[in-house]
Structure 1
């Protein structure tokens, strides 16, 4: 989804720019997953086995989503309802949530500001 969003925003990833870090779970160590990342030119980073702190950020987000979405809206009627609610929460989390550590603006706005500030103007020559 993030690759799609970046492409839609006109900021496709530069080769070598993105790193996918995960734990050593089976789904992340498969050849098919590695091939998918390679095709998208995303570097794969897998932490050490048994390292409790290795994936703490992702586990924190998962815990937050379970608290704010999954547990708060029980009982769920179908898997489709869970998927839609999760997608809506992720959209809010990235596009509308005000984040105090980055100036009380949404993360997507912070990222856009970063790219706008670091984009170098193109030099053109009239011949």
Structure 2
């Protein structure tokens, strides 16, 4: 069977801050990923959440969750992935580095592999040219050290 994954990427650090895996593409898949991002980041009111125009993102439930969190929704043009390049790059990287490397015996096995790839490899170790060849976690730590040292 199929496994669907939704991710929320912080464009500052390229870190996946929310994600969800399911055997369907219904609205709760994207709402669950958004909820994880909200728990992890506690974004300021007015933070922009950009998405594509899939029915999950245009649903009343998703829009209501954005509004209740104080987030501003943003969507690109129909049939354009240009404004979603960072997220498209993430999916391409996951395809190349994980999904194309083998097959899985079950949805649960694949879901576990996706979890491990995001949380144990991509966020803490995978280097990105756009952030000085740092991993997302290292980039964020370095930023917070700089900010803290400037205040002190």
Q: Secondary structure at the match of 1:55?
A: helix
Using the alignment, how far apart are the partners of 2:77 and 2:140 within structure 1?
29
Q: C-alpha displacement at 1:32, in angstroms?
A: 0.5
> What's the counterpart of residue 44 of structure 2?
14
Bigger relative CO (Cα 8 Å, ≥ 6 apart): 2
Q: Once superposed, what is the RMSD of the aligned Cα atoms?
A: 2.3
Tell me, which stretches of 5 or more residues in structure 2 are unaligned?
A: 1-17, 19-36
Q: Secondary structure at the match of 2:78?
A: coil
Within-5 A mapping of 1:81-120:
81-91=109-119, 92-118=121-147
User: Cα deviations across residues 25-49 of structure 1 (Å, max 9, x unaligned)?
Assistant: 1111111011112222222101111
TM-score if structure 1 supplies the norm length?
Answer: 0.74
> What's the counterpart of residue 69 of structure 2?
40
The structure where strand makes up a greater share of residues is 2
